Every structure is written in structure tokens, then in C-alpha cells.
Amino acid sequence: MVIFLGAIAAAILLVGCASVGSGNTTSLLTAAGFRARTPQTPKQQELYAALPPYKVEQATVPGKGVFYVYKDANAGVAYIGREAEYQQYKQLCIQQQIAQDYYMAAQMNTVYARGWYGAWGPRAFLW
């Protein structure tokens, strides 16, 4: 029974990680200081089309340095940031993962607390 509950918790945690990675990425990028840009020129549109969607990519521009780019294909924008913004984004991702882990632990504690009461039965306290 405990192994089964552990497997369910692990599955929920993995699904939660996947949803955080895709659903909240744009809000995390914005909070980290990335700027949303719509490709305007034909050259920008060509570069935008070559980017893989929904993945943060590192790009080096000669004379300008290193940039990080995230392509949001549904919105048609690219989120652009430098090293400092990327480091902030990674920190926000870690903080969000820790918050989810605490939430899952609290949920599991609640489930186990209910199971403890059920083990003794409803009349255990009425001796």
C-alpha cells in the first residue's frame, strides 16, 4: 500500500514538473526580466522560424555577446534575455519546484493522517 501511494505521488510530481515547464515558462521568463519581442523584419522572421518552440536556447551574436531566446509559437513572440536574466529565470524555476515539493509533502501528510485515524476505526476513541 505504501509503495503504491509512493508511486502515485511520484507520478503526480512528474506531471507537475512537466506542467510547470510548459505552462508557467512565459510568466517566469517575464518575471526574470526577459523581454517579449515580435519578429518584424524578414531576417528576424527567418531566425524566429528556425528556433525550436517552447525551449530556451542560447544564441551568440558577434559583437553583441550571448543571448537566451525562448520561442512561444502560439503567441508568435520570442522572449529575449541576457546571462543575468537567464540566471534569474533558473533561480525562479528552482524556487517554484521547491514550492511544489512542499505542497506535495503537505498533501501526502494529510492523506497519511486520515489513514492513521482509519486504522483504529471510528470507535477507537470511545472506549
- Indicate if the pLDDT at residue 121 is higher than 90: no
Is 81 among the domain residues? Answer: yes
Residue 39 covered by a domain: yes
Task: Provide the domain limits for residue 97.
Answer: 2-108
Number of folded domains that form the chain: 1
User: What Rg, from alpha-carbon coordinates, does the chain have?
Assistant: 22
Cβ atoms 35, 79 nearer than 8 A = yes
User: Is 58 a member of any domain?
Assistant: yes
The single residue listed with the C-alpha cell 531576417 is 43
Is residue 74 domain-resident? yes
Of the candidates 97, 118, 76, the one whose C-alpha atom is nearest the C-alpha of residue 14 is 97
23 within a domain of the structure (yes/no)? yes
pTM for this model (two decimals): 0.65
Helix (H) or strand (E) holding 92: helix 83-120
**Does the pLDDT at position 82 exceed 90?**
yes
Question: Is 124 part of any domain?
Answer: no
CB 20 within 8 A of CB 97: yes
Q: Is residue 59 part of a domain?
A: yes
**24 falls within a domain:** yes
Spatial distance between the Cα atoms of 25 and 31, rounded to a whole number of angstroms: 10
pLDDT band at 99 (very low <50, low <70, confident <90, very high): confident
